[in-house]
Amino acid sequence: MSFIAEIRFLDAHGFERTRTINVNTPGTALHNQLALRLHKDLLETVEVEMRDCQVIAIAARETKSGREVFKANYLAQVAERETSEHPPESD
């Protein structure tokens, strides 16, 4: 099976970027264990190849059908920056 994964992240300079990765796996049926394995493999890629970046989100979809396999959001500086730009209103 073939998947397209998109990783949204903040680079070392604080700019938001997107990295797209094409992933091929053995098998012909999409199931939960495959989705979990794909997520785990993408997290390992982030830890090894993008260790100076802060991950915002990772999403993957099947190439052929476009069906979403998973979507995960993570805490990153972008959330803190948005909060500091728009502090909560006090009563």
Quick one: three-class SS letters along the chain? CEEEEEEEEECCCCCEEEEEEEEECCCCCCCHHHHHHHHHHHHHHHHHHCCCCEEEEEEEEECCCCCEEEEEECCCHHHHHHHHHCCCCCC
pLDDT at 77: 59
* Interval 8-50: pLDDT, tens: 999 988 899 999 999 999 888 889 999 999 999 999 999 999 9
* Interval 44-91: pLDDT, tens: 999 999 988 999 999 999 999 999 999 999 986 554 555 455 555 555
pLDDT at 79: 46
Is pLDDT at 5 greater than 90 in this prediction? yes
Tell me the pTM: 0.78
Residue, of 3 and 27, whose pLDDT is higher? 3
Domain ranges of the chain: 2-85
